[in-house]
């Protein structure tokens, strides 16, 4: 992981903080995927989820899907909607176009919380594991709404075919 691609995480007072910065692509999403999966599998004591994207300069659909998975986790655990901070106009355009505002409270302002966070390392995924991560992320996007379904169903169908 480089300085430009960073995932920071902390769980403080039952609030899980994610800080994502740099270019967020499927090629560097394994650490985030692993963290979201661990959150689903074991209750980390999260009563609230906060995502800070203020230092993210780019995000692909796989990463947006991982965020959708995070929102789905909150919904399944009957937690409040997660809060997402983002001041980057291109990132915000993507979030709104893929309807993440239906799953997150999006705050287009800088964050001022000073939380001591730990870096999250990339995980070593096989090609198969990486394919499954991309598939899960896009399935989460499709679940958000119908326009995402029409946009990403062909991707999901192709991935399912390739992963057989």
Sheet of 118-119: strand order equals 105-107, 83-85, 48-59, 15-24, 5-12, 118-119
What are the extents of the domains in the chain? 5-124
Give 101-131 pLDDT, tens digit per residue: 999 999 999 988 788 899 999 999 999 999 9
CA–CA separation, 9 and 100 (whole Å): 21
CA–CA separation, 61 and 34 (whole Å): 17
Give 91-107 pLDDT, tens digit per residue: 999 999 999 999 999 99
Homologous superfamily (CATH) for 5-124: STAS domain (3.30.750.24)
pLDDT for the residue numbered 43: 62
CA distances from 139 to 44, 86, 144 (A): 24, 23, 9
Q: Is a pLDDT exceeding 60 seen at residue 4?
A: no
**Position with higher pLDDT, 42 vs 52:** 52
Confidence category of residue 151, pLDDT binned at 50, 70, 90: very high
């Amino acid at each position: 992981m480089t300085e430009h691609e960073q995932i920071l995480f902390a769980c403080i007072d039952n609030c899980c903080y994610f800080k994502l910065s740099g270019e967020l692509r499927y090629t560097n999403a394994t650490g985030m995927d692993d963290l979201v999966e661990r959150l689903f599998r074991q209750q980390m004591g999260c009563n609230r989820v906060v995502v800070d994207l203020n230092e993210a300069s780019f995000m692909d659909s796989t990463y947006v899907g991982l965020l959708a998975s995070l929102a789905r986790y909150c919904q399944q655990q009957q937690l409040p909607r997660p809060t997402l901070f983002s001041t980057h106009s291109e990132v915000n355009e993507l979030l709104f176009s893929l309807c993440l505002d239906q799953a997150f409270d999006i705050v287009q302002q800088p964050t001022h919380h000073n939380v001591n966070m730990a870096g999250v390392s990339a995980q070593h995924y096989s090609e198969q594991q990486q394919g499954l991560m991309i598939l899960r992320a896009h399935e989460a996007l499709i679940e958000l709404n119908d326009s995402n379904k029409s946009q990403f169903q062909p991707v999901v169908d192709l991935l399912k075919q390739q992963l057989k």
